[in-house]
Amino acid sequence: MTSPSPFAFPTDLDGWLAAATQHADDAVSLVRHFDGELRAGAATASAALELWNDADLALRGALSEAHVLSEAHPDAEVRAAAEESVQRLEALASARLLDEALFAALAAFEGEPLDAEEERLLSHTLRDFRRGGVALAPADRERVRELTDRDTELSLAFSRNIREGRREIRVAPEDLAGLPQDFLDAHPAGDDGLVVLTTDYPDLMPVREYATTRATRTALVAAYNELAWPENEPILAELLAVRAERAALLGYGDWADYETEPRMIGSGAAVSDFLERLDEASRAAAEAEYPLLRERLHRDDPDAGEVTIADFFYLLGQLRKERHDVDAQLVRSYFTFDRVLPGVLATAGRLLDIAFEPVDIATWHEDVHTYDVVRAGERLGRIHLDLHPREGKFSHAACFPLAPGITGRVLPEAVLLCNFARGLMTHDEVVTFFHEFGHLVHDILGGAQRFARFSGVATEWDFVEAPSQLLEEWAWDAEVLASFTADADGAPIPADLVERMRVADAFGRALEVRRQLGHANVSYHLHVDRPQDLQAATEHWYSVTSPVRPLPGVHPYAGFGHLTGYGSCYYTYQWSLVIARDLRSAFGDDLMDPSVAARYRREILEPGGRRDAQELVEAFLGRPYSFDAYRDWLGAR
């Protein structure tokens, strides 16, 4: 079978502008055509599902492309046109789920003999229709349609404000004490004698980790916590109201109940229980860690009071250096971007028995590296790595699908949008790179499917962070790191330093889990409690979750990008981590064990969304997963 053709990108700005609109128009026409045929009645269940899949494929492909362009294209006009396309395509997607004739055309085949995959597509799609509101009275259906469209519009605006809301502060050169020399060289003082620091990660991360001047850390972290505020305040307030009304109309207790119904966790109440379980599992260790941070802070300044989130990463770094002889700046000297990129590719390639062949094509920006994903001469997919910050680009790190893979028909393609330094990278950045690459290979290897609905990262949403968090482990393996690191003299990172990094990493882990639990509490309680005062509620949840204090009076929810896509379900990260820790245990002492790796690829990644996540995990582990490996990891000292 010949491999399908990859995406052909426009070559000039006019082409991009046209594509940003035209591809959505084309998809709308295709969907109308296939839906028309389906409404007219298909002869067999298989024929009906194929028609549904054809429309689904057109819609998902165009939506993926529009999302990537809206977050990554360097031209603001293209981004705006792509955003309009997202809005239009999302509106079509939700309108279809309110279409009684379409629903009836599929529901007619319920109970007929189907193969397992058809059966799964039919039952999932009928559930989508019910969740979309098809069974409501006409007035309620219309209201759900309005609310769903409004959710899309508000979510796009929320993301845009974060993307375009970069902030800057100015500090005196002497206030950069503690930062590495290459950082200082790249940040000279301006005409006013002051140095500009931005909230982009390549400035934020080193400052919050290395700056010994507390005021500098606090000023930049405070600026970061004010990202997209006040613009996003009314947007978020309305988004929460829209979601609550939609959940109520659809017959759910709250938005968390609506969101969790098709996920592993199953209900909003179970989220609350899970958060309590995390609280209980991490409380004692966090309480033991906190006094050490406080004591270290007071060695800098006896009047410093309590540790804040602007001190957290700095203090962890200092303590890891003093207690475990891990100097983060020394560690950083081994990770030049130009070595890390091929290192990540080689590691993932070796693990998953794939190769990455560079492809010399023009994409949306010259920074983008494109590779074909190849095994035994066969092209399995294509990836695009857009890894450095620029004005107006998505400001965090994430994997975006570009084309949903269909065997023999559509080549799976996916994109990483990250914001890494161009020179030396912190080890945190390297871990993030492995994390996002875990999503990327899931998307590509899960992209050999019959139905678009199950292509790529298409499992239950609270499982999606398991493959990504699992791959982070490879960034902590001495042998793996030695294979691509080098200091200025060409020597790889020594194994004993990596071992000390691992020991040091365990210190502060419970506090880090509680920081994550703080995000999960905010995401859940803003959606479920519906507080009037978002600032007060957010500060409350961060304050009661961790002994590390939030900065007072700031508005971090305005820049909390996950509140759109993850909604009430930020718990996903820890839920997936519980599973990832158990998956990790199967590799034992050898992360490159070929038979375990092959089983992982076959049982977890390649099925995409074809089977329930619980089944994937059991097929890989040979037993149901448990909380034990996570608990051990949390208690590891």
Q: How far lies 22's CA from each of 85, 320, 365, 434, 539, in Å?
A: 9, 53, 20, 35, 44
Structure tokens at 510: 């419970």
**Shortest Å distance, C-beta 467 to Zn ion:** 9
**Can you tell me the distance from the alpha carbon of 131 to that of 96, in angstroms, rounded to the nearest whole number?**
12
Identity of the residue, 449 or 468, whose beta carbon is nearer to Zn ion in the bound complex = 468
Query: Hey, how many other C-beta atoms are within 10 angstroms of the C-beta on 562?
Result: 17
Site for Zn ion in 594-613 (CB under 5 A): none
**Shortest Å distance, C-beta 618 to Zn ion:** 23
Q: Crossing angle, helix 214-225 and helix 309-324, to 10 degrees?
A: 130
Size of the site for Zn ion (CB under 5 A): 2
Interaction of residue 572 with Zn ion, rule CB under 5 A: no
Identity of the residue, 129 or 433, whose beta carbon is nearer to Zn ion in the bound complex = 433
Report DSSP state, residue 507: T
Identity of the residue, 329 or 572, whose beta carbon is nearer to Zn ion in the bound complex = 572
Identity of the residue, 129 or 437, whose beta carbon is nearer to Zn ion in the bound complex = 437
Structure tokens at 316: 């962890």
**Shortest Å distance, C-beta 102 to Zn ion:** 33
What dihedral do alpha carbons 542, 544, 545, 550 form, nearest 10°? 30
Identity of the residue, 50 or 460, whose beta carbon is nearer to Zn ion in the bound complex = 460
Site for Zn ion in 417-476 (CB under 5 A): 465, 468
Structure tokens at 483: 């294979």
Site for Zn ion in 155-184 (CB under 5 A): none
Site for Zn ion in 244-303 (CB under 5 A): none
**Can you tell me the distance from the alpha carbon of 620 to that of 597, in angstroms, rounded to the nearest whole number?**
10
**Can you tell me the distance from the alpha carbon of 407 to that of 366, in angstroms, rounded to the nearest whole number?**
30
**Can you tell me the distance from the alpha carbon of 342 to that of 371, in angstroms, rounded to the nearest whole number?**
11
Identity of the residue, 161 or 468, whose beta carbon is nearer to Zn ion in the bound complex = 468
Query: Hey, how many other C-beta atoms are within 10 angstroms of the C-beta on 288?
Result: 12
**Shortest Å distance, C-beta 7 to Zn ion:** 23
Identity of the residue, 570 or 630, whose beta carbon is nearer to Zn ion in the bound complex = 570
**Shortest Å distance, C-beta 205 to Zn ion:** 17
Give the DSSP H or E segment for 71.
helix 45-72
CA neighbours closer than 13 Å in the CB half-sphere of residue 328? 26
Identity of the residue, 220 or 577, whose beta carbon is nearer to Zn ion in the bound complex = 577
Report DSSP state, residue 601: I
Q: Pattern of binders to Zn ion over 466-505, x per CB under 5 A?
A: --x-------------------------------------
Site for Zn ion in 312-341 (CB under 5 A): none
Identity of the residue, 397 or 522, whose beta carbon is nearer to Zn ion in the bound complex = 397
Q: How far lies 159's CA from each of 212, 233, 462, in Å?
A: 32, 13, 21
**Shortest Å distance, C-beta 470 to Zn ion:** 11
**Shortest Å distance, C-beta 469 to Zn ion:** 7
Query: Could you tell me if 382 and 373 are in contact, meaning their C-beta atoms sit under 8 angstroms apart?
Result: yes
Structure tokens at 360: 């010399």
**Shortest Å distance, C-beta 434 to Zn ion:** 11
Identity of the residue, 78 or 579, whose beta carbon is nearer to Zn ion in the bound complex = 579
Identity of the residue, 363 or 432, whose beta carbon is nearer to Zn ion in the bound complex = 432
**Shortest Å distance, C-beta 468 to Zn ion:** 4
The closest residue (CB) to Zn ion is 468
CA neighbours closer than 13 Å in the CB half-sphere of residue 548? 28
What dihedral do alpha carbons 346, 387, 330, 634 form, nearest 10°? -80
**Shortest Å distance, C-beta 435 to Zn ion:** 6
φ and ψ at 490, to 5 degrees?
90, 5
**Shortest Å distance, C-beta 496 to Zn ion:** 30
**Can you tell me the distance from the alpha carbon of 249 to that of 268, in angstroms, rounded to the nearest whole number?**
17
Interaction site with Zn ion (CB under 5 A): 465, 468
